[in-house]
Amino acid sequence: MELKYEPNRIERKWQEYWDKNNFYKTSEDPSKPKYYALEMFPYPSGNLHMGHVRNYAIGDVIARYKAMNGFNVLHPMGWDSFGLPAENAAIKHGIHPAKWTFSNIDAMKQQLKTLGISYDWDREIATCRPDYYKFTQWMFLKLYDNGLAYKKSAAVNWCPSCQTVLANEQVVEGACERCETKVDKKKLEQWFFKITDYAQRLLDDLEQLEGWPDKVKIMQRNWIGRSEGCQFSMAIEGSDEMLTVFTTRPDTVYGVTYMVLAPEHPLVSVIAKGTPQEEAVKAFINEVKFISDVDRSSADLEKTGVFTGAYAINPMNGEKVPIWIANYVLMDYGTGAIMAVPAHDQRDFEFARKYNLPIRQVIKSNDPTDENNQLETAYAGDGYMINSGDFDGLSVEEGKQKIIAYMEANNIGSATVNFRLRDWLISRQRYWGAPIPMVYCPECGPVPVPYEDLPVLLPEDVNFKITGESPLNYVESFYKTNCPVCGSEARRETDTMDTFVCSSWYFNRYCSPDLKDMPFDPDQVNYWMPVDQYIGGVEHAILHLMYARFFTKFLYDIKMINSLEPFSNLLTQGMVLKDGSKMSKSKGNVVSPEEIIKHYGADTARLFILFASPPERDLEWSDQGVEGCYRFLNRIWRLVQDYAPLFAEDSESLNTASLNPRDKDLYYKVHATIKKVSEDIQERFNFNTAISAIMELSNHLNSYREVQDKNPALIKLAIDNLLILLSPFSPHICEELWQQTGHQSSIYLQPWPRYNPDALILDEVEMVIQISGKVKERIKVPINSAKEELEQIALDNPKIMALTDGREIVKIVVVPNKLINIVIK
RNA sequence: GCGGGCGUGGCGGAAUGGCAGACGCACCAGACUUAGGAUCUGGCGGGAAACCGUGGAGGUUCAAGUCCUCUCGCCCGCACCA
């Protein structure tokens, strides 16, 4: 008999037990339904924070619950271990990124293990290990072979102080996240993945993702940004060049009074050449160059521009309109050029006002009171066409179609779909990433590294000084190579891949973690994939989740896997807050999981974090709340210690037919709790209410202590179930108490209990009597009493009689076993 | 500006249209104790009560935290996307 609950001792004991007996090791088993539970793998920063604990605690409840319900569960863990922080550590402290990373992984793995999560550690992966990044490179080659990886010159984020390129995600509000210097754009040759080829499918298949939060689907939909319209070309006066524009409002094409090009548009210098405006145009382009990209794309920026001196011909009416350049037109959307319709576009309207350009109304509102003669703002609403030649009188919708049809018939333009989504820039001028497996041969040009030569290994001896180029550029043994095709001296690509590439396919690798020649075995992947439940922070709503979807579709297309989507169900967990804001070092409000575990144990930490709030919502950290969960576990401990002797020797089985009312009440509570906890986990992931139901059962058991003639078999039933129900949340204490109450095998191997519907049928229920919707009285009646009987009981009730005396009863509403509502006048 | 979410006791949070505040924390009182920051018991939205209470104003309904309309506040995402 143990007197005191000592979490650290029993947690170590059971973690060792699970470890030694390969408890959570999984393999394919066609006889059982599979369940793939996955939490987003962490970057190994070196210490676990509360957000991780929350993420993995949620995942563990689901994984354990499913396993106990007969599923063959895959629940792996690994490390997203390439990336900038390791290299920064190298620059700052002179530690090699590999050494830094691997020691962080060791440290974090130790911390993770103290949480008692049911991981199959045999499947652990680290994206920075050659046996993993070999296949990240394999993915690159497959994409390249299929025309989905290409190189082009592009403007990238450049920090002038650090002298290096930054990933988009390392740019925070237009500044470098490390030194807070304003980020510039710099043109460099870069590798891209053609995710835009998949834009429509990425958009369409969102419909299939019923298990995803709408919020995330909406964010992806907006990010993809599909818009329908048409693209058409205009002749430029005195030039052979054509000017192509994209518009979603072809119905307003008769309202075009000028054209606008982005200042970077290649046609600008051509058309301005030799005009009196040439100097002004050059000056304006120079001016725009000095405005940062962030300010450039801000709606607050004042719209400015300059006339190019050239004119375009509107193909619909032959009208000559001036071509301007302006800061509000962006080169990287559409064609980098627009037709300006100031009467029906607010931006064009403001610009036209400022530069005294004509405004011509071509859409009239259907609302006759809406006299829009003196336009104060652009009119973007519905209506019918005017001033539009043969098209007058058509509605906006009809007009769009008819104009496009006309353009197509006359070879002016055609219907087009435009996406906001851009191709994915994957080059990084950094060391600590997967090298891009390409070779540049003076004879053969760019040549992919043959599959059999993978991996292209990262060299170890590298100087990390900041130069603005990849450190690999200075490692001769790395870049000097021979062409795989012709054998002549060639140079390796020295850029490495964005770490999002590594995390776009890792969930497949867990299915075949040790496979040598292929990223995964199709049979194994097709057994496990798709992930049944994916859990992580909402900050990955777009980037990671979109890239992973893209990779999955690509792998489907090349017949490597059978699923079109990687994650059937997605749970986006809320943040862990302290004093109302996100835990961060700079705010000094960080609570370390290590400290909490040391003090209270992992069971308490897990329980608190699951109890304090439903998983999707933000969670406010409370030291006192933790204390409360610790007290609860102590109460459970004592409860079992006190009751154990009672049923230790008594193996009599429970006779449910002869329960006294007090026992029946406890018996009811046991089954009601099984039902509630099962439903809360299974249907809604509402762990907080599941835990509170378990607390209620424990409270019932506690008050049962006062009962004189206790029923040992009933207590045993209650305690067994209590421990099983609590075990996914706080597994160690439950294993320990399970063993102490005489069970031979692990509680994890217990089947999840089923509630007995008969146990939930009570003899008597409490009902409420309302008068006109207000509760006036409570009565106890036999369950399922007849409506007429209930009405009579209510009307005969003295309190109700007094209140209804002399009033007319309009009607009586009876909700079975709940309430009787007497409506009076 | 557009899109999404959230407003319930002192706090975290519960409530298939059917008893608002489950469960926990904090607090108060009592018990046990040399002691209590341990444990146990009880209380705990406001109000003396009738009653009043889910950000605010209307509405639907026998019945609204829940449904509808308007409105205020906070949080998150996107933001000159043609």
Nucleotide of closest approach to A624 (CA, C1')? B25
Write the CB contacts of A469 (distance below 8 Å, at least 6 apart in sequence).
Answer: A429, A494
Average pLDDT over residues A538-560: 94
Residues 119-148 of A with CB under 7 A from strand B: none
**Quick check: A815 CB within 7 A of strand B?**
yes
- The string of pLDDT tens digits covering residues A622-680 is 999 999 999 999 999 999 999 988 876 666 778 888 888 889 999 999 999 999 999 99
Residue whose pair of structure tokens reads 């180029």 in the numeric block: A469
**Quick check: A707 CB within 7 A of strand B?**
no
- The string of pLDDT tens digits covering residues A104-152 is 999 999 999 999 999 999 999 999 999 999 999 999 999 999 999 999 9
Spanning CA of A535 to C1' of B10, the rounded length in angstroms is 34
Tokens of A461: 């001896």
Spanning CA of A150 to C1' of B29, the rounded length in angstroms is 76
**Tell me, what's the pLDDT at A798?**
86
Spanning CA of A768 to C1' of B45, the rounded length in angstroms is 21
User: Is a pLDDT exceeding 90 seen at residue A469?
Assistant: no
Confidence at A799, pLDDT banded by 50, 70, 90: confident
**Quick check: A418 CB within 7 A of strand B?**
yes
SS3 content of chain A, % helix, strand, coil (to 5): 40, 20, 40
Report the C-alpha gap between A362 and A253 in whole angstroms: 8
Residues 340-369 of A with CB under 7 A from strand B: 345, 347
Nucleotide of closest approach to A339 (CA, C1')? B82
In single-letter form, the type of residue at position A439 comes to V
Around Cβ A424, how many Cβ atoms within 10 Å?
A: 21
Nucleotide of closest approach to A219 (CA, C1')? B77
Average pLDDT over residues A211-226: 92
Beta bridge partners of A32: none
Sheet of A489-492, strands arranged across: A445-448, A438-441, A489-492, A480-482
Spanning CA of A50 to C1' of B35, the rounded length in angstroms is 37
**Quick check: A213 CB within 7 A of strand B?**
no
**Tell me, what's the pLDDT at A621?**
93
**Tell me, what's the pLDDT at A90?**
87
Q: Which residue is nearest to nucleotide B39 (CA to C1')?
A: A635
Residues 622-651 of A with CB under 7 A from strand B: 622, 624-625, 627-629, 631-632, 634-635, 638
**Tell me, what's the pLDDT at A708?**
84
Q: Which residue is nearest to nucleotide B13 (CA to C1')?
A: A613
**Tell me, what's the pLDDT at A465?**
76
Nucleotide of closest approach to A346 (CA, C1')? B80
**Quick check: A244 CB within 7 A of strand B?**
no
Task: Give me the half-sphere count of Cα atoms (radius 13 Å) on the Cβ side of residue A509.
Answer: 32
State what percent of residues in chain A have pLDDT above 90.
72
**Quick check: A620 CB within 7 A of strand B?**
yes
Spanning CA of A248 to C1' of B78, the rounded length in angstroms is 19
Spanning CA of A670 to C1' of B14, the rounded length in angstroms is 20
Tokens of A725: 């129900």
Report the C-alpha gap between A113 and A12 in whole angstroms: 10
A30: DSSP letter: T
Helix (H, G, I), strand (E, B) or coil at A68: helix
Nucleotide of closest approach to A632 (CA, C1')? B24
Tokens of A96: 């090699």
CB A728 within 8 A of CB A64: yes
Residues 582-611 of A with CB under 7 A from strand B: 611
Around Cβ A399, how many Cβ atoms within 10 Å?
A: 25
Confidence at A496, pLDDT banded by 50, 70, 90: very high
Q: What is the mean pLDDT of chain A?
A: 91
User: Is a pLDDT exceeding 70 seen at residue A2?
Assistant: no
Nucleotide of closest approach to A691 (CA, C1')? B23
**Quick check: A334 CB within 7 A of strand B?**
yes
> Please, is A213 exposed, middle or buried when counting C-beta atoms within 10 Å of its C-beta (0-12, 13-18, 19+)?
middle
**Quick check: A229 CB within 7 A of strand B?**
yes
Q: Which residue is nearest to nucleotide B19 (CA to C1')?
A: A768
Nucleotides of B under 7 A from a protein CB: 3-5, 11-15, 18-20, 22-26, 38-42, 51-52, 62-64, 76-82
Q: Which helix (H) or strand (E) holds A281?
A: helix A278-289
Helix (H, G, I), strand (E, B) or coil at A537: strand
Helix (H, G, I), strand (E, B) or coil at A78: strand
In single-letter form, the type of residue at position A462 comes to V
Spanning CA of A777 to C1' of B67, the rounded length in angstroms is 28
Of A158-172, A212-226, A498-512, A605-619, give the lowest mean pLDDT range: A158-172
Spanning CA of A26 to C1' of B21, the rounded length in angstroms is 45
Q: Which phi and psi (to 5°) does residue A427 adopt?
A: -75, 140
Tokens of A267: 């046609």
Spanning CA of A622 to C1' of B75, the rounded length in angstroms is 20
Spanning CA of A203 to C1' of B66, the rounded length in angstroms is 33
Radius of gyration (C-alpha) of chain A in whole angstroms: 34
CB A819 within 8 A of CB A765: no
Residue whose pair of structure tokens reads 């409490």 in the numeric block: A766
Nucleotide of closest approach to A297 (CA, C1')? B80
Residues 270-329 of A with CB under 7 A from strand B: 296-299, 301, 303, 327-329
**Quick check: A185 CB within 7 A of strand B?**
no
Q: Which helix (H) or strand (E) holds A317?
A: none
Confidence at A373, pLDDT banded by 50, 70, 90: low
Its pTM stands at 0.94
Tally of helices (H runs) and strands (E runs) in chain A? 26, 34
**Tell me, what's the pLDDT at A185?**
75
Report the C-alpha gap between A99 and A153 in whole angstroms: 34
Q: Are β-strands A320-326 and A258-261 bridged in parallel, bridged antiparallel, or unpaired? A: parallel
Nucleotide of closest approach to A614 (CA, C1')? B13
Nucleotide of closest approach to A772 (CA, C1')? B62
Spanning CA of A551 to C1' of B9, the rounded length in angstroms is 50
CB A310 within 8 A of CB A239: yes
- The string of pLDDT tens digits covering residues A746-770 is 999 999 999 999 999 888 888 999 9
User: Is a pLDDT exceeding 60 seen at residue A793?
Assistant: yes
Report the C-alpha gap between A62 and A114 in whole angstroms: 19
**Tell me, what's the pLDDT at A466?**
67
Residue whose pair of structure tokens reads 């037709």 in the numeric block: A339
- The string of pLDDT tens digits covering residues A301-328 is 788 999 999 999 999 999 999 999 999 9
**Quick check: A526 CB within 7 A of strand B?**
no
Spanning CA of A60 to C1' of B77, the rounded length in angstroms is 29
Spanning CA of A794 to C1' of B50, the rounded length in angstroms is 22
**Quick check: A333 CB within 7 A of strand B?**
yes
> Please, is A284 exposed, middle or buried when counting C-beta atoms within 10 Å of its C-beta (0-12, 13-18, 19+)?
buried
Spanning CA of A381 to C1' of B68, the rounded length in angstroms is 26
